Amino acid sequence: MATSEAALQVLSGAVPRLFHSNLRFNKSKPVFSFKSKVTNRSKRGSEYMQMLNGSRMLQKWRGVYALQCLNGVSYGKNAIRHLESMSCKCQLADSVGGITGEDENGTWLKGKPNNSTPILINGTANAPNGQDLEVAQQLKHKNEGCVSDATFASAETINDTFHRVSIDSIEDEAWNLLRESIVYYCGNPIGTIAANDPSSSTTLNYDQVFIRDFIPSGIAFLLKGEYDIVRNFILHTLQLQSWEKTMDCHSPGQGLMPASFKVRTVPLDGDDSATEDVLDPDFGEAAIGRVAPVDSGLWWIILLRAYGKCSGDLSVQERVDVQTGIKMILKLCLADGFDMFPTLLVTDGSCMIDRRMGIHGHPLEIQALFYSALLCAREMLAPEDGSADLIRALNNRLVALSFHIREYYWIDMRKLNEIYRYKTEEYSYDAVNKFNIYPDQIPPWLVGWMPSEGGYLIGNLQPAHMDFRFFSLGNLWSVVSSLATMDQSHAILDLIEAKWAELVAEMPFKICYPSLEGQEWRIITGSDPKNTPWSYHNGGSWPTLLWQLTVACIKMNRPEIAEQAVKVAERRISGDKWPEYYDTKRGRFIGKQARLFQTWSIAGYLVAKLLLAKPNLARILVNEEDSELVNAFSCMISANPRRKRSRKGKKQSYIV
């Protein structure tokens, strides 16, 4: 009670307009249109075919909807490589060719050059400023060996040259593979397929464009200055958002983005010589387990902001339909429900871990993406009277969410010891053990595993339940988005360093630690044969996580951690044909059912390399700690009864 009241006071009183957006908003300027038509295929020919000109109005056809080329003639690559290329009159009304990228210098401010001070990323896409402190220069590879004798110098030089050549060829190969994975819609690049594995007999849905999988691809293209594919992806997936979707007569919320979509090339009715491209989205109604992808819309917002920051083209985020799309996602996430917690309540498998793994409730990954998306959206939302309530709700949620996660999800030696001594069954407003956690649920593995330096955010929090597993993506994105405090962020990286042998070992990066085994595995996964211990989502190692690790390390000015992880990956990843994931405790085997040539493994590696070479570009993904949010937050802390009985001692594990 006291907490939320304090937050409200801060938000409505002392800080009258906490947050400000300075985007220009030009309603009358549609900048993107396809000469495509929307068809109601069941009545094609007789029904009006609607031009898609930035409009969100689409018509329905038995659950599958088609965006059709003007002449219905198109081609795709890879997934539909067998189809002949034919000319298509689909085209972008305006070209993005002339867009120049924001100068990659320009926006970095750096504090003390030591590990305790993160790099501060300053400025917005509108107003790049700050001092270029040549961060890149500080990120040169450290000498690994201790050879100083001049006798070895020339041999070293030759070795270095060989090493560089082989690394360059890995990168070249990755770029070729990434380009080969591009999916075209009406002749325009629109996304990348999940995997391009010729050896796999069952495609399942790996021939589709997954929203979450495309993010590293999109970032790689942005960093390379190739903006069109990202722009097309953003605008076409936005149109899919308005699809009417149902499963067994039930419709999920309107703002839901699909998990994936496929470009189908189908014969054009009444014309045997022509085909048309249609987009066929999956919102979870066909996905294994029928789970709605909560993360898709959040990633979409994060990519939209990155696109604007990297390309300098703000016209996309300013479009009326894009603004509406952002608001629809926000409304869905901010809708009132039964919740007592500010965290998003979701079902199992609603994110990267898209199968049953016991992460239903309030999983950290979703909360970190939610927080990041709220901050990104706030930056992009045009100030207008109609959105005042939404922005107020957004601001309230940001404060409550960061307080909740920083306070209750954080765990380190000190906190673990506190939980170990918790009193239970406290009925009162000022209970210390608010969620009635029984100390016996501290898992035996954690007692030995927790390093004396370092800590992390736990996987999930529910009444009488803390999921103590370490989930990598949630922790890394909490660093990137500043959901974790600065001290917590450093502690997370400390833990990664301390637990290198378990989290990185022979292939970065473990999706979670430890795995579920025995009876726990049977009950929690439902005896899932794909999620056996140390495989797939259950403690498997996923190379794609390299890119999120890299952004987090760069943000905290500790890029050498990511550099080491990239070096580990480079030993095998290309020779192993870019697997989706690795199995075993140390990530030694290519995953039992892993796809090869998995696009986000390829793109994740490329993004890591590109960012390590130009660390200042990480700003397109990072959310800075907001000083006004910090103020609001400290008011909440001082109003929090638990804090009043504060823990004494010099060494606070984090500062809020």
Residues that bind ligand GLC (CB under 6 A): 194, 210, 212-213, 352, 354
Peptide bond into 383 cis (omega under 30): no
Residue 45 gets the label, from left (phi > 0), alpha (psi -120 to 50) or beta, of: left
- Beta-carbon contacts of 529 under 8 Å, excluding residues fewer than 6 positions away, are none
Closest to 544 measured CA to CA, from 511, 575, 503: 511
Work out how close the CB of 206 gets to ligand GLC at its nearest, in angstroms, rounded to a whole number.
6
Nearer to ligand GLC, 213 or 282 (CB): 213
Work out how close the CB of 413 gets to ligand GLC at its nearest, in angstroms, rounded to a whole number.
32
CA pseudo-torsion sign 529, 533, 539, 541: negative
Work out how close the CB of 260 gets to ligand GLC at its nearest, in angstroms, rounded to a whole number.
7
Work out how close the CB of 352 gets to ligand GLC at its nearest, in angstroms, rounded to a whole number.
4
Nearer to ligand GLC, 192 or 564 (CB): 192
Nearer to ligand GLC, 375 or 602 (CB): 602
Separation between Cα atoms, residue 266 and residue 278, nearest integer Å? 7
Nearer to ligand GLC, 194 or 380 (CB): 194
Residue 649 gets the label, from left (phi > 0), alpha (psi -120 to 50) or beta, of: left
Contact present, 363 and 474 (Cβ < 8 Å): yes
Within 13 A of 113's CA, how many CA atoms are on the CB side? 7
CB neighbourhood size of 85 (10 A): 13
> Measured at CB, which residue is nearest to ligand GLC?
194
DSSP letter at 195 equals B
Work out how close the CB of 355 gets to ligand GLC at its nearest, in angstroms, rounded to a whole number.
7
- Token pair for residue 130? 């700050």
Work out how close the CB of 261 gets to ligand GLC at its nearest, in angstroms, rounded to a whole number.
12
SS (H, E, C) 313-332: CCHHHHCHHHHHHHHHHHHH
Closest to 207 measured CA to CA, from 83, 85, 80: 80
Closest to 417 measured CA to CA, from 452, 460, 377: 452
Nearer to ligand GLC, 311 or 598 (CB): 598
Work out how close the CB of 478 gets to ligand GLC at its nearest, in angstroms, rounded to a whole number.
19
Nearer to ligand GLC, 45 or 289 (CB): 289
- Token pair for residue 519? 């009876």
Work out how close the CB of 603 gets to ligand GLC at its nearest, in angstroms, rounded to a whole number.
11
Work out how close the CB of 545 gets to ligand GLC at its nearest, in angstroms, rounded to a whole number.
11
Separation between Cα atoms, residue 70 and residue 60, nearest integer Å? 18
Work out how close the CB of 475 gets to ligand GLC at its nearest, in angstroms, rounded to a whole number.
17
Name the one residue in this structure whose structure tokens are 């974790």.
484
Separation between Cα atoms, residue 197 and residue 445, nearest integer Å? 37
Nearer to ligand GLC, 108 or 210 (CB): 210
Closest to 263 measured CA to CA, from 472, 69, 498, 505: 69
Separation between Cα atoms, residue 135 and residue 554, nearest integer Å? 10
Contact present, 89 and 71 (Cβ < 8 Å): yes
CA pseudo-torsion sign 256, 63, 185, 90: negative
Work out how close the CB of 205 gets to ligand GLC at its nearest, in angstroms, rounded to a whole number.
7
Contact present, 238 and 190 (Cβ < 8 Å): no
Distance between alpha carbon 59 and the CA centroid of its chain, in Å? 31
Work out how close the CB of 344 gets to ligand GLC at its nearest, in angstroms, rounded to a whole number.
18
Nearer to ligand GLC, 255 or 604 (CB): 604
Within 13 A of 358's CA, how many CA atoms are on the CB side? 25
Nearer to ligand GLC, 213 or 407 (CB): 213
Work out how close the CB of 252 gets to ligand GLC at its nearest, in angstroms, rounded to a whole number.
18
Nearer to ligand GLC, 308 or 540 (CB): 540
Helices (H) and strands (E) in the chain, counts: 21, 16
Phi, psi of 263 (to 5 degrees): -95, 115
Nearer to ligand GLC, 198 or 386 (CB): 198
Nearer to ligand GLC, 213 or 563 (CB): 213
Nearer to ligand GLC, 260 or 623 (CB): 260
Work out how close the CB of 354 gets to ligand GLC at its nearest, in angstroms, rounded to a whole number.
4
- Token pair for residue 137? 């220069």
Closest to 309 measured CA to CA, from 238, 230, 397, 394: 230
Work out how close the CB of 213 gets to ligand GLC at its nearest, in angstroms, rounded to a whole number.
5
Work out how close the CB of 540 gets to ligand GLC at its nearest, in angstroms, rounded to a whole number.
10
Nearer to ligand GLC, 259 or 411 (CB): 259
SS (H, E, C) 568-581: HHHCCCCCCCCCCC
- Token pair for residue 136? 């890149």
DSSP 24-65: ---TT-----BSEEEE-GGGTTTSPPEE-SS-------TT--
Separation between Cα atoms, residue 254 and residue 325, nearest integer Å? 10
Nearer to ligand GLC, 212 or 309 (CB): 212
Contact present, 458 and 441 (Cβ < 8 Å): no
Nearer to ligand GLC, 119 or 352 (CB): 352
